[in-house]
Amino acid sequence: MSQSKSASLLDARILVPALGDAFRKLNPRSLARNPVMFVVAVVSALTTILLLRDVATGGANIGFSLQIVLWLWFTVLFANFAEAVAEGRGKAQADSLRRTRSETQAKLLKDDGPDYTTVPGNSLRVGDVVLVEAGDTIPSDGEVIEGVASVNEAAITGESAPVIRESGGDRSAVTGGTQVLSDWIRVRITAAAGSTFIDRMIALVEGAERQKTPNEIALNVLLAGMTLIFVLATVTIPSFTTYAGGAIPVIVLVALFVTLIPTTIGALLSAIGIAGMDRLVRFNVLAMSGRAVEAAGDVDTLLLDKTGTITLGNRQASEFRPVQGVSEQELADAAQLASLSDETPEGRSIVVLAKEKYGIRARDMQSLHATFVPFTAQSRMSGVDVDGTSIRKGAVDAVLKHLGGMPDASRPKADTIREIQAIADAIAKTGGTPLAVARDGRLLGIVYLKDIVKGGIRERFAELRRMGIRTVMITGDNPMTAAAIAAEAGVDDFLAQATPENKLALIREEQAKGKLVAMCGDGTNDAPALAQADVGVAMNTGTVAAREAGNMVDLDSDPTKLIEIVEIGKQLLMTRGALTTFSIANDIAKYFAIIPAMFLAFYPQLGALNIMGLATPQSAILSAIIFNALIIVALIPLSLKGVRYRATGAASVLSRNLLIYGLGGILVPFAGIKLIDMALAAIGLA
């Protein structure tokens, strides 16, 4: 599932099956999903019948008609081939997923007791409770209700590093097909057989459940309307030619019709949509529908969690600020002693800072007979008792409360308390987190923990702003700290002390203004907001509720991907727009190839329009029909890879599309048709 393992476009494992699928897709029920190509297929079938009649009756120009009919069928087959190649990349990934969905045995617990029976994993029902021990494969999707274990999720994420799954909290969801590496867990099954997470992934990456998006449906209607117009125009042409005392062969009328309708974008439209979802899958993001991918491209507002998205997520000690009468060296020494057993990133950073800035080396705590006091959510402090000395480190209010319970003689003076609070307030205003340090009831000062804003994130937000996307940082910090970090990161707005209700209200407020909103989350408390958002990206490590509420799941559980998801969505829309522009524009060149060739016998004056200097009328018509088929194949790589994404506004994208794909759509057919005409003339086929 990782990008490095994604199948190449030129992989024979994709191209060979796609050739067979191109013929299988000639089924009328399959063709009917694409109105333009369905019409081309119908016309090809009718001209084939007419050709067979001419062969039987000894009609004229059979060689010319045969070439036209063959290239008409090639046009349909190439369109089917484009779709089959796009689907083939997903099928290659689905085959990999199927290998993870092997038949596993489950240890079904009886009435939640210690006894269990071994049953096939596919026989489990929603609500069953199973025991999964070290070495066992988790039989189906579920939620950990007891225990904690290390789980290998490489089967779905491509990452070999194990993750922790435990009951309660936001890391309780487990996926069928993953393996428990250590300890044991009890899992309550949440998905019925055939509807597990991997089952849904297989169906989606294969395209079996891909629904056309509203914009795709609208474009199909437009293309169908244009096709109908050309049908009417082609039908009326013979009545005009009768005034000139002649008639245009049906095969020529068919060639005119097929080359002038929007066959290029009609052939590639489905492949573009499938490729958009495929790009997300290769990026380890599973979109539950094409609508979600398209919505990502139209997003106006991004809600981003501060921790792990905007900041590194691990606060780092950056400075020691002592109170009057205390040296930085003394504060650093006490803070390092209190942090030696602290395995959190913050605690380790304090030890490193004291060592690097003041040369204080770690001590042999065993010889000092130290007793460490671990951090708890209730005390919000940690520390150490060593050789009769008590050192405490933690939240400022928690340390002050601890010191307030000491004998009067040991309590800090009011002036010192005010000084500590002033230092803490100054740190909070800059977006940092203050930790107070005290030794034997004496306040020594503050350790300044800084939220490190990710490198380059400010520039990323500037790009989004140029695209017209508003960014909002979501954080549980107080407004003062949130404002400082928001200013440093360059976001447009922030929501401080955020609650689930606040997030939901913000999303609804933005949507009431007609904006599309995207956000990510992993907890049960994020589920309402994920469900309300137009693009809700749930972390795979999150709860079942979050994964069910979102319309995308990030298998790597990386919240920063929300920005890339928006870029992939915009790339899908840009690709569709660019190729639509090219398809419509290249019809202009075909006018100059086919129109003069059709009417030259009746209106010699039209010879002036043969600006390409095509050899003969038959060569002009055949060259146009061949180019019309080959350009579909030539554009398959672009439709699958996508037009290069640029962080620019809509007006700039439109101007670029018109310049490159509009002008290119006019010029390329002139060169292509002329080269084909020269080749046909050289080998005597026309």
pLDDT classification of 61: cutoffs 50, 70, 90? confident
Instruction: Check whether 7 has a pLDDT greater than 60.
Output: no
Is the pLDDT assigned to residue 291 strictly greater than 80?
no
Cα 521 from chain centre: 15
The larger pLDDT score, comparing residue 38 to residue 284, is at 38
pLDDT at 361: 75
Helix (H) or strand (E) holding 536: strand 535-539
Least confident of 89-103, 438-452, 536-550: 89-103
Question: In one letter, which amino acid is 243?
Answer: Y
Q: Which residue has better confidence, 407 or 346? A: 346
* Residue-level pLDDT at 235: 60
Task: Give the residue among 459, 462, 478 at the shortest CA–CA distance from 470.
Answer: 462
Q: Are 224 and 37 in contact (CB under 8 A)?
A: no
Spatial neighbors of 293 by CB under 8 A, at least 6 apart, are 213, 276, 277, 280, 287, 568, 569, 572
Q: What is the mean pLDDT of residues 458-464?
A: 85
Least confident of 152-161, 347-356, 442-451: 152-161
Q: Which residue in 464, 518, 458, 455 sits closest to 646, CA to CA? A: 464
Higher pLDDT, 473 or 121: 473
> So what's the pLDDT on residue 313?
65
The per-residue pLDDT for 3 is 41
Digit-coded pLDDT (tens) for 472-494: 998 877 788 888 888 888 999 99
Alpha-carbon distance 167 to 149, whole Å?
A: 10
Q: Please, are residues 641 and 459 in contact by the beta-carbon 8 Å criterion?
A: no
Q: How far apart are CA 515 and CA 492, in angstroms?
A: 15
Tokens at 467, concatenated: 């695209």
For 582-607, the pLDDT digits (tens) are 988 888 778 777 777 777 666 677 67
**% the chain with pLDDT above 90:** 14
Q: In this predicted structure, what is the pLDDT of residue 296?
A: 86
Mean pLDDT confidence for 441-470: 85
What pLDDT is recorded for position 41? 93
pLDDT(71) > 70: yes
| Euclidean distance between CA atoms 32 and 81, whole angstroms | 16
Alpha-carbon distance values, 327 to 13, 324, 335, 358 (Å): 69, 8, 12, 11
Predicted confidence at residue 298, as pLDDT, reads: 85
- For residue 437, what pLDDT band results from cuts at 50, 70 and 90? very high
Q: Which active-site residues does the annotation give?
A: 305
Contact 519, 562 (CB under 8 A): yes
Please, which pLDDT band fits residue 52 given cuts at 50, 70 and 90?
A: very high
pLDDT at residue 536 tops 70: yes
pLDDT at 172: 79
Give the burial string for 549-573 (b: 16+ CB within 10 Å, else e): bbbbbbbbbbbbbbbbbbbbbbbbb
